[in-house]
Amino acid sequence: MKDLSVGNEGRLIFRFATPMLLGNMFQQLYNVVDSIIVGKFIGVEALAAVGSSFPIIFTLISFIIGIAIGSTVIISQFFGAKDYEKVRRAIDTLYIFIFFASLFVSFLGIYFSTDIFRLIGLPDDVLPQADTYLDIYLSGLVLFFGFNATSAILRGLGDSKTPLFFMIIATLMNIGLDLLFVVVFKWGIEGAAIATIVAQGGAFITAIIYLNRTHEIINLSWRKMVFDRELFRQNLRIGLPIGLQQAFVALSMMVMYWLVNPFGTNSVAAYSVVFRIDSFAAMPAMNFAAALSTFVGQNLGANKPERIRTGLISTILMTSAFAFTISAIAYFLAGPLMRLFTDDPVVVELGKEYLFIISPFYVVFTAMFTIGGVMRGAGDTIIPMLITFIALWVVRIPLCYYLSLDMGVTGIWWGIPMAWLTGALLSFIYYKTGRWKRKALVKYG
């Protein structure tokens, strides 16, 4: 556990964010390895199937992710205020909710998976494999949620190193099982999905056993867990807007595939690949923003709001350095990056075009996400939700649609950074109002 209310702001955030960034790099690594193995050893249709499954998975889990992030805010603020009993009750409440919610979402997704793929117009040659991959993945969703809830709890307590160790375990397991199931056993796309479930389950079970034996606050006993309705109500106040924000993002991903799908399997495959590359580019911003949220929560809980501005400036400087570096790599090495996933020349060219257009704007995404981290850490989640809605549904989707009528799939590529510019501008304007400071759970007279 780490108290982020004392010490140099920038140094604290960097040290806290770095293990989170490394952990997510490993997580993205096994997602990328999934795609590389599937693209190289199964085919373009399977590559498109894995890519098109992700926005549906993200849509189904978005609300629960929001609740988990809300719990991180609550845990960080009560931890900053040294109220450890409420910290423990918040942890119990989150685990109980996660268990039952994951079962419901798994059933819902498996039952409607084929209908959802048909709704977004997935090409017929991709649909059977996408349906198979999604159904297997969703059957192990409780393990995915359990692992991510544990990581969120530890981050709220100021511990970003322990989740890294378990993410490394999950990544190495997943890569090894991918190679075994797909390359050696020839299980096809089913093998890739099973490998992911087994890896996530192994990491979650290992984490629970380790924490029960070593952690002074997290000591889970399923029989003694208490569901605190008042804390859950506060969690919903913070978490539901985050969940809706995540849902806006996830549903917009599905609509983006709906826009791309008419341009054929090669376009879907290319978009699936560049989406993986975008995920790598977004990681520094997302992880440093998450670190900043915990920093803001603890400092508001400790009644030290004056430290937040310095923390934000330091975080923007650090994430911008990452963004410029990744932009240069994606722009100048677009071809080699695409050929890691597939040798299909049409898919490679479509992906290169996307990266030439998008990569210069990664710094804009970075600024948008980092500023949003301040609001989330304070517990102000409604305005960021509305900003996300405007950026995605008022700007990106209509613009992508109308540009695609004249420019084809290239028009879709151009609509994406316009949404980032809108979100960054609106986030900065709201941050300057200072209204987000009033949303803290811990009040001081």
pLDDT, tens digit, 9 for 90 and up, residues 235-291: 888 788 877 777 788 788 888 888 998 898 889 889 988 987 888 888 888 889 988
**Domain range holding 162?**
9-438
Residue 259 lies in a domain: yes
Chain segment 117-135, per-residue pLDDT in tens: 888 778 788 889 999 999 9
Residue 3 lies in a domain: no
pLDDT of amino acid 349: 94
List phi, psi (to 5°) of 345: -65, -35
- 3 state DSSP class of 167: helix
Residue 443 has pLDDT above 70, yes or no: no
Distances (CA, A) of 404 to 262, 274, 384, 408, 419: 11, 18, 28, 4, 15
122-136, 194-208, 396-410, 425-439 — which one is most confidently predicted on average? 396-410
Q: Is 265 exposed, middle or buried (0-12, 13-18, 19+ CB in 10 A)?
A: buried
Residue 445 lies in a domain: no
Residue 444 lies in a domain: no
| Domains: count for the chain | 1
pLDDT of amino acid 439: 62
pLDDT of amino acid 434: 80
Residue 1 lies in a domain: no
pLDDT of amino acid 440: 59
Both tokens of 247, joined, read 């849902």
pLDDT of amino acid 72: 79
Residue 443 lies in a domain: no
Distances (CA, A) of 85 to 162, 239, 303, 379, 443: 22, 21, 19, 20, 17
What is the rounded CA–CA span in Å between residue 78 and residue 94?
A: 15
* Single-letter code of the amino acid located at 223: R
Residue 40 lies in a domain: yes
pLDDT of amino acid 241: 80
Residue 151 lies in a domain: yes
Q: Is 56 exposed, middle or buried (0-12, 13-18, 19+ CB in 10 A)?
A: buried
Rg of the chain taking only CA atoms, in angstroms? 21
Distances (CA, A) of 407 to 102, 120, 260, 264, 267: 41, 21, 12, 15, 14
Give the mean pLDDT of the chain.
85
Residue 445 has pLDDT above 50, yes or no: no
- 3 state DSSP class of 16: helix
Hunting for tokens 């900053």 — which residue is that? 80
